[in-house]
Structures are given as structure tokens and as C-alpha cells.
Amino acid sequence: MNHPVKLSALALCTLLTSACNATNPSDTQSDTGLRVVTWNIEHLAADNTKGCKPRTQNEISALKKYASALEADVIAFQEVGSIKALENIFDKSQWQLIISDRKDSPSYTCRGNGLTSTQQKVAFAVKKPLNVEKVIHHNQFSDIQVGLRSGLEVQIGYAGKTLDLLNVHLKSGCFVDDYRRSDKKSCQLLAKQVPLLDNWVESKSAEQANFIVLGDFNHRLTAPYNRVSRDLYYPDGLANKAPNNLSKATFFNANQMLTGCHPYYPAPIDHVLVSNTLKPVYVKGSVQFHYFDNMEPKKMLSDHCALSIDLN
């Protein structure tokens, strides 16, 4: 299908859109909508020649083209070095660029190229004129240990209501079904981040807030019996008492049935968790990974594809 055509919007952000991967237009098209995206852009640096993923000018141009083709209204990024790095891809006259205020962590030697790493922070690009009502820096996720990433929340005024979006990039290396049963250091650190995320979800759920948690979870949440999913789905730690009953879940994983885009890693670790309050406006079937023109692993623009959903 054709990508949606956007027209300028008023303060309440009525934007024209259509779902890109529909098989039945009547199921997925809407007259008004919002596209929300998460994308680990892989070590985006202000200086394209530095860091773990140096890029040529042609690659920067390709990133710009890819980002434009997403037809996004809000993009949650992971692995961004600075606002200046984002400005290499996005025109700040058209986008509101917001980055985590986490203190810079020590650099390290990049695996493979021997260069010195740049910062890995979470960030948002919010299309103007969407109204960013509030920005909240959740540094409790990174205060656990130097080098971990903070969470970043933006609250956006949309269609007369507030949409709360939390961007996370959780600890990597704990790719097991039950993180609580592993003695790996990465799992021990993840075990300290999960309750923080669960508290945020439960607090928003209690408020009946319209919320989305999105980002790089570094965890296979869609795998059967995944412990992190169960901890988040079940309120007040009830995962052990009702392991097969999701009737009390306050959100759903929009990409539960999707295969990841990376040729080597079919189980996705990027996710978009959507509150049940948004079910009436979630465009069913709109969730999709946006593949690069060249999907050879060493030639991908980043090691994660962007993942999007549409709200009408």
C-alpha cells in the first residue's frame, strides 16, 4: 500500500494516515492517526567518523531517507550520542529532539574496529506541531550501575488527551526465559530494572492512563513463559499464581506475533507495549518492522530495524 500522506495539523494534532502493511484496507485504514516508532539506531554519533559505528556521508544520507520513509510522528531512539547526532538525521525546524540527561559513562574500546565508543542514550524525536507537555528523566534505571541506560518519558498532548510514552533500553546479555533463575551478572542487573518498569506500568494502569512502553528491551518478551512479560502482565506480583490467565493484564504487546527483522535473530527484542485504554484507537494489524533496502547483516544501516504502530 501507499504510505500515508501527511498534512499540517492544529494543536490537537489531527493527522492523516493509513496503515502501511494492511491486507484489508477496511481493517487498518483510518481518517486520523498517529504513528509511533521505536528504533535502536546503533551508536549514532555527532562525528560520523567516530565511535563503534562510523558512517560515511552516503550512509548518513541513507539514514535520512529511511527515517523520512517511516512517516513517523514520534520516534523513540536507543544508542544516540547527543542531540547533535540526531541533528545529522533530523531537521530541528521540523522535529522536537529530546535526549536523556544521564551523565556520560566511561568510554570503552569498540569490538571489531578498535575505536573509542561514544555515548549510548535514549532519545525522542517528536514531529512538530505535536505538543510535548512534559519530559521525565527516569535515571533510576541507570543509577543501578554506571553504563546502564536511563528511561525517558514524554507526555504528549494528542486529540485532547495525554499520551505517556516511556522509552527504555534495558540491560543486554540476559537472553533466558527466566531471568530470576540465572546467576549471570547481566540477569542480576536486569532483575533490578524490571521492578522499576513494573512499578511504572502499574502506576500508569492505576491512573487509567494512555501509555506506551517502547524500546530495546534486550529480552525476548514474546517467547512462551518469558518471566519479564509475566512480571509486567500480572498486577502485584501475581505471575506465579495465575501463569495462564491474562484477564487482568492492563496492556498488550503489539508485536507479539511478529518475527524480528535481523536475519540472525528472529526473536525480537524491540517491543511496543500498549495500554488497554488505547485498544479502541490502536489500528489492528498496523504493527510492522521497516526493513532496510539492503538486509545483509554487515550492510544494514543499523543492527535493529525500526518498529512502528499506528493509532487512529
Residue-wise pLDDT tens for the chain (312 aa)?
444 433 333 333 333 333 333 333 333 333 469 999 999 999 999 999 999 999 999 999 999 999 999 999 999 999 999 999 999 999 999 999 999 999 999 999 999 899 999 999 999 999 999 999 999 999 999 999 999 999 999 999 988 999 999 999 999 999 999 999 999 999 999 999 999 999 999 999 999 999 999 999 999 999 988 999 989 988 665 556 555 556 778 999 999 999 999 999 999 999 999 999 999 999 999 999 999 999 999 999 999 999 999 999
Domains in the chain (CATH in brackets) are 25-311 (3.60.10.10)
Scored b (16 or more CB within 10 A) or e, 256-281 reads: eebebbbeeeeebbbbbbbbebbeeb
Measured CA to CA, the distance from residue 213 to residue 165 in angstroms comes to 6
- Whether residue 129 is preceded by a cis peptide bond, meaning omega within 30 degrees of 0, is yes
For position 83, what pLDDT does the model report? 98
